[in-house]
Chains A and B, each alone.
Chain A
Amino acid sequence: MPKIHIDEREIEAGANENLIATAARAGVHIPHFCWHPALSVAGNCRQCLVEIEGVPKPQIACNTPLKDGMVVRTKSPAIQEARRGVLEFLLLNHPIDCPICDQAGECRLQEYYMSHGLYDARRNVDKVHKPKVVDLGPHVLLDAERCVLCTRCVRFCSEVARSDELYVAERGSHSEIATFPGQPLVNAYSGNVVDICPVGALLSKEFRFKSRVWWLKKADSVCTSCARGCNVRIDHHWNQVQRQVPRYNPEVNSYWMCDRGRTHIDWINEQRVTAAQHGEQTLVLREAFELLAARLAAAGSAVTVVLSPKLANEDLLAWRHLFTAVLPAAHLGAGSLEPAQPEDDILRRADPHPNTWSVQALELAADVRALWQAPAKLLLLVGDDPVGWDPALAAGLARFDFVAAALTNHNATATSVLAAGGLLLPLATHAEYAGTFNNYAGRVQRFEAALAPFGSALAAHEMAVELALVLRREFWPAGKPRTSVQQGIWQQLAPAIPAMPRIDWEHVPPEGLNPTWKPTARPRSVLTGEDATDAYSWGAAPEAARAGEHG
């Protein structure tokens, strides 16, 4: 690998790495708009100009071949002036409407103006006017006046989404990003163009005007909309999810996620079950658990428990343990009637559940309709919405002496359970606690708590522990864990199941663990420097901190 000198620092270039990426590892941020680590090199924004010893003209860092002994200067007066000049050109026809722009706070134009611009406006000619609030498609709006024509979105559509829906129309200072007249941007990954747009030109319809980005608190999470388990970041404010954006993981989703996963967040914010309810009556949680405990005691083993592949590993392990070892139930299984989703060879998987792999590993896989029919006195549902997927199931509830359901949302199942005189328990969504899912390939991926639980909602695994407590049964085979409940579950319950991976729950790295991982050494992060945070939060952290973030 060639060794190069960047601003007096020597660094070895990585394989297939360009100067921008190499410099980032050396703690030097080279400003750029058009270059993106997962897209082809366009070289059009000209913001990444650097000085290379022995080369008369400034060169673009994104496309300069790295040679051993190359001496690069990124902060010389000539380069500072060149960057300032390019930035001035970029802002020439820009409306400078930051106060009403959603990108404000994570905009490269703002950021670079502060770091490389700081000139007085010299514009003395009329601005070129272009279309604003252009409805590009179901999820994306275009403000052509804010666009810097970096063509990241064009390249994304042709190289990643392979839909080739965007191109630059016209020429010169009249150039603008466009779809074919009358044809909206409808590829299944269109939201990513908003993420990679370095300015406020491409806007998310869902996030537009929802929150200033500097109010957003961020939590690493995993998308639950299919078995891919795209790594995401939940941005939240006022204890509401404001947006969900992809988090870089080269092993799972690169920088991307699909629109369905991205926009499937309202269920976390709305129509939530926030308190226990029995028929018309609202109960405090303790009363609800006592009621359920009494009914369970009465039913003996004539109990059917239906879990969901939307539950986390910790949830599945806890409920499985509760109803096999602590209070054996006649019928225990996990399944869902949610129909398969469109699949492709990019990211989307047909299986709409985040944890089917673990359901199978725990030998819980079952047919929901068969469980419904199984002879039992008590039916206990945890998660999902079986009645919503098959309304005919509602009638079957009357067959049981008692029905209880722990649900996140006031869905069709909740309505039917209450109508049947059953008990409804408030279940937390994955946004409210920390846990792990194993994606379709068995990769263990950890999600963090983003929100405080809604009302008195509990995570499913907490409910299992709580229920054992109320039943006065010992839940923990080796005594109450001194660490977190989740850690205790992995230490005490998981080892009994050979198919489940052995993990150190407290130290699952942000990019997850593949299923063959052995706990011999602390996992080393594959994420480095600017790549990991390119699409987001790049303006928020100082360069050095970013470079070392995952290093």
Chain B
Amino acid sequence: MPETSTKPELLPPAALARLEELARRYPTREALMLPALWMVQREHGWISTEAMQYVAKLLDVSPVRVYGVVSFYHMFHERAPGKYNIQVCQTLSCSLLGAEKLLQHLQDTLGIAHGEVCPNGRFMVQRVECLGACEHAPVCQINDDFVFDLTPAALDAKLAELP
């Protein structure tokens, strides 16, 4: 194993301190898997294989366990997503109220399909399953934030006002 301690830490000291604080709440280090991966993703936007090895070392687990976990959970990104990850819900309540048209509109306007990132890196589009906000269907999430009661026009307006 190459020594990684000479490289800059993938997590800043404050995050590491938070993680160690959290460690007191769990009887195993492995239980910090999702919290640690969330910290890495928050810091870097995605989780590289290098970051997976880093987390494996932090938690004293085999790197392949981290890889398996990252690839299992849809919200973890193994590649850099766009600046804004537009996750369009396509499950029944949203589909009943126009999610398919919304998604089509988005793909037509941005020229990218599911899982792709705009050439300028600004947007990524993801079809996702039920986001748990069916009363506001159709919905999407842009990064961590819900956007409710969408129409193609409302989504255009929302995207236009993003910084």
Contact = CB atoms under 8 A, between A and B. Distances in A.
A62 B21 CA distance: 41
Max chain B CB contacts within 10 Å: which of A158, A167, A179, A182? Answer: A167
B118 to A, nearest CB: 25
B72 interface: yes
B11 interface: no
B71 A180 contact: no
A4 interface: no
B63 A169 contact: no
Contacts of B72: 169-171
A168 B68 contact: yes
B49 interface: yes
A166 B67 CA distance: 10
B71 to A, nearest CB: 4
B4 interface: no
Interface in B52-92: 52-53, 61-68, 71-72
A183 interface: yes
Contacts of A171: 71-72
Nearest to A185: B64
A164 B62 contact: yes
B49 A169 contact: no
Max chain A CB contacts within 10 Å: which of B49, B65, B71? Answer: B71
Given A180-B49, A180-B52, A165 B71 contact: no
A178 interface: yes
Contact of A164 (B53, B64, B71): B64
Nearest to A165: B64
Contacts of B53: 180
A180 B48 CA distance: 12
B49 A167 contact: no
A181 interface: yes
A277 to B, nearest CB: 50
A178 B65 CA distance: 10
A166 B71 contact: no
Q: How large is the interface on A (under 10, 10 to 19, 20 to 34, 35 or more residues)?
A: 10 to 19
A163 B63 CA distance: 11
Contacts of A165: 62, 64
Contact of B65 (A167, A170, A181, A183): A167
Nearest to A164: B62
Contacts of B71: 169-171
Given A167-B68, A168-B68, A171-B72, A181 B62 contact: no
A179 B64 contact: yes
A484 B6 CA distance: 67
A286 B66 CA distance: 66
A294 to B, nearest CB: 62
A180 B68 CA distance: 8
B15 to A, nearest CB: 23
A184 to B, nearest CB: 11
Max chain A CB contacts within 10 Å: which of B49, B61, B72? Answer: B72
Interface string A166-199: 1111110000001111110000000000000000
A42 to B, nearest CB: 15
Contacts of B65: 164, 167
Contacts of B62: 158, 163-165, 167, 180
A165 B65 CA distance: 8
A166 B49 contact: no
A178 B49 contact: no
A164 B49 CA distance: 17
Contacts of B64: 164-167, 178-180, 183
Contacts of B63: 180, 183
A183 B66 CA distance: 13
Contacts of B49: 180-182
Nearest to B72: A171
Contacts of A181: 49, 67
Nearest to B78: A181
A168 B71 CA distance: 9
Contacts of B67: 167, 169, 178, 180-181
B64 to A, nearest CB: 4
Interface in A149-170: 158, 163-170
A168 B64 CA distance: 9
A161 B11 CA distance: 32
A229 B49 CA distance: 40
Contacts of B52: 180
A524 to B, nearest CB: 41
Interface of B: 49, 52-53, 61-68, 71-72
Interface of A: 158, 163-171, 178-183
Given A182-B49, A183-B63, 17 more contacts: A158-B62, A163-B62, A164-B61, A164-B62, A164-B65, A165-B64, A166-B64, A167-B62, A167-B64, A167-B68, A168-B68, A169-B72, A170-B72, A171-B71, A178-B67, A179-B64, A180-B64
Which 4 residue pairs of A and B lie closest in terms of their CB atoms, listed nearest first?
A: A164-B62, A167-B68, A180-B63, A180-B64
13 contacts: A164-B64, A164-B65, A165-B64, A166-B64, A167-B62, A167-B64, A167-B65, A178-B67, A180-B49, A180-B66, A181-B49, A181-B67, A183-B64
